[in-house]
Amino acid sequence: MNRKFAIILGAAAAVLIGFSVTTRADDDVISKFMKEYHKAPEGTDPVCKKAGAGTATAEELQGLLDGYKKICGTEPPQGDKAVWVKNCQALVAAVKGLQEGKEGAAADYKKAVNCKGCHNDFKP
């Protein structure tokens, strides 16, 4: 193997490693958010349920909004990125509606936070 080729191989490997590390980190962002906001310990309501029922606090809504914005900017573990961004943006818009007390915001949110729909496409 000549030297130049070895350097190219090394660079390619470094890019590959860097890529898998960032993808993994993105996955963690989504997993962490799901556990914090979409799933609650036995006997308590997750924030997403409270948001849909109109009982989430201002603080919880803000956390939810920040979380959706954050996952919107990440790479989903699988599926079409453009659709992913569209789904996340619908969630961001719905939470903003809740914050503003917009009429029908809870219904919009419940429609947007479609666990199964999103998991079918994007959850491995």
Looking at beta carbons only, is 88 or 95 nearer to ligand HEC?
A: 88
Of 12-20, 58-66, 92-100, 115-123, the window that binds ligand HEC (rule: CB under 6 A) is: 115-123
Of 2-10, 55-63, 98-106, 116-124, the window that binds ligand HEC (rule: CB under 6 A) is: 116-124
Applying the rule CB under 6 A, the residues between 64 and 93 that interact with ligand HEC are: 76-77, 87-88
User: Residue from 47, 48, 64, 94 that binds ligand HEC (CB under 6 A)?
Assistant: 48
Distances (CA, A) of 82 to 20, 68, 89, 116: 20, 15, 11, 18
User: Residue from 14, 35, 54, 73 that binds ligand HEC (CB under 6 A)?
Assistant: 35
Please provide residue 14's backbone torsions phi and psi, each rounded to the nearest 5 degrees. -60, -40
Assigned token pair, 7: 């350097």
Does the protein bind ligand HEC through residue 102 (CB under 6 A)?
no
Distance, in Å, from the CA atom of 82 to the CA atom of 86, rounded to the nearest integer, reads 6
Apex CA 102: angle with CA 99 and CA 106, to 5°? Answer: 80
Distance, in Å, from the CA atom of 67 to the CA atom of 60, rounded to the nearest integer, reads 10
Does the protein bind ligand HEC through residue 118 (CB under 6 A)?
yes
**Site residues, ligand HEC (CB under 6 A):** 27, 30-31, 34-35, 38-39, 48, 76-77, 87-88, 113-115, 118-119, 122-124
